[in-house]
Each structure stands twice: as structure tokens, then as C-alpha cells.
Amino acid sequence: MKILLVRVSSLGDVLHNLPLVADILRHHPGAQVDWVVEEGYVSLVRLNPMVRKVIPFALRRWKKGLGDAAVRAELRGFFRDLRAEQYDYVFDTQGLIKTGIIMAAARVRPGGQKIGLANGTEDSGYEGISRVFHTRSIAVEPRTHAVARGRQVVAAALGYTVDSPPDFGLPPPTSTRPDWMPAGDYAVFFHGTARDAKKWASAHWIALGRALAPLPILLPWGSPREQQEAEALAAALPNARVLPKLSMMDAVELARHAALAVGVDTGLTHIAAAFVRPTVEIYCDSPRWKTEGNWSPRIVNLGDTGAPPTVEQVVAAARGLLQQV
């Protein structure tokens, strides 16, 4: 059985679809699973050894350079790779027009199916017109967790029941660490996020860092503004250090080796939870039910939309997790 998964973005959503691969192979051990994903997330998907082939997609970059012959050649190469196989099933778990077009371009065997979402969940970016590309559309409950959503669609199509915790297929930490990473235990604060309302107050991060001293605190950042915020935190925390600009895979390694990860509702926090590192997820202005790490007691989820957790709650959760290490 040959299966193609189409989930191109974003970081957290690609991560939350990784358990589909283990589910498929658990119930259909001979299956081959390929994946179409934005080029920036190719390395993340390749961490899962159960994915046979990753097909990079670069729509944002291609759109800017369509006048360039090299870009047009790359685009033709993408469709050539996409159509190199005949699949038994093509799954679009994103439900957008662009992912539907990818699904439409993929080839299926006679009798093969192209399957996607019949509806979106609450506040998702689902585009209903994407159903025109399906041979079958599968409905999910409006409040279905981001990890469960894709798992349920694929299970319904392939005739099995989701009856196990998610297996993200991610490898455990190695003994090798990059030069910028401490050799010993550290905590990482994933404090940055694009939307201000999802942030936890700077004073709270400082109080948490002081409560965790002398444990080293590492502060990553992804934009100039987040760098300034990290520097302000480090100025108030003798045990904190602002990291250099990290690549996405360096940030993944940061999460994978952490003795403790504390973060707001953002992709890197969810990556720490997927590695089952001791993780405190902080929800300030997003619904906890959508993405909370609910597969391990090593993950604590605090807060909810309009109800950020207190410093005392986060400190207690962090200390409790560190006692388990």
C-alpha cells in the first residue's frame, strides 16, 4: 500500500500530523508513506524514519520568482516528483485550496482514493472549497484536538480505530550537543510568539527564572523584537543566557535536550512535548483543547483563552517536573 500525506505547514501542525505515520504502519505494516511539506519543515519530517520520501514544497518562494527560469524548472521538478508514484491513498489533512491542488495533481491507482476533511474545527483556517478535490470527505467534531484530527481521518479511511497514545516517531536525545548548548541540564523558555495576546508577561518569566535558579535558562528568539525581549529577560536573570540566532533544526535540538521546557502556545513548545521532555505549556489567549500535550504526565498544560496561569502555578508545575528528571 502506498500512501501520500499532504500537510505542508505550519510548524506545529506538521508536528501534530507525525503520529499518522506510526498509526498507518501499526495497522498496515507493509505500507509506504510519503509526505509533501513546505521546504522549511522538511528536516523535521525527515527525523521520522518511518516516512519513506519527503517531497519539498516551496510555494512562497516560487510565487516570488516565477519569472526566473530556475524557479520554473524547480516547480516542474516538484510536480514530476509528486507524480512519480501511483498511490492507493492521498490524504489532505490541511483542507486548503493549495493542498487540494497538490492532492489533485498526485496520481492514484485505479480505485485509489483522495481523502480529506469534510469540515474544519473551531477557528481553523479550513477552506470548504477544498472538498472538490476529494473522492471522499470525512467529518470530525468541531472541537477535535490537533493531533487527533488527522489520526481520525486516516483511521476512518483505512478501517482501524485510534486506540493508542500518539507516537511522533522522533528519535531520543543523542550524546552529541552543538557548541552553543550547555553540557549539563538546562531549562529553555519559549517565550516568543507572533501574537502579543498569546505572550506571558515578562515579569512572570523573570519570577519563574529566579525560582528555578541556579538552573541555567536558555532564551531563544526568532525575530529582532523577540531578541530584545530575550535580552531584557536575561538582564534580570543571572542564570539566563540569550542564544544566537538558531536554525529551525537547532531549535528542535534545543527542545530535544532540555531538562525542562516552558513555553507559550507555539510550535517549539509543542516540539518539546512531542519529544516527551518535561514541558509546561502556557495558554494565555488560545484554547487549550486544540493543542495541549495530553499524552504524557511529563507535560503540564496551564491556562486557557483569556485566563493565563499565575507565576505560582507555573513554578509549582516546573518544580514538580524537575523532581521527576
pTM here is: 0.96
pLDDT, one tens digit per residue, over 145-182 is 999 999 999 999 999 999 999 999 999 998 899 999 99
SS3 assignment for 200-226 = CCHHHHHHHHHHHCCCCEEECCCCHHH
Domain ranges (residues) in the chain = 2-158, 187-324
Give yes or no for a contact between 104 and 131, defined as CB atoms under 8 angstroms apart. Answer: no
- Provide the pLDDT for residue 325: 73
Same fold, 2-158 and 187-324: yes
Q: What is the DSSP string of 185-198?
A: --EEEE---SSGGG
Say yes or no: domain 2-158 is CATH 3.40.50.2000: yes
User: Which residue, among 70, 106, 74, has the nearest Cα to 88 in the 3D structure?
Assistant: 106
Q: For residue 308, give the 3-state DSSP assignment.
A: coil
Sheet bearing 107-117, strands edge to edge = 53-57, 32-38, 2-6, 86-92, 107-117, 136-138
Q: For residue 35, give the 3-state DSSP assignment.
A: strand
What is the CATH T-level fold of the domain 187-324, as seen in this structure?
A: Rossmann fold (3.40.50)
Mean pLDDT of all residues in the chain? 97
pLDDT, one tens digit per residue, over 218-230 is 999 999 999 999 9
pLDDT, one tens digit per residue, over 109-141 is 999 999 999 999 999 999 999 999 999 999 999
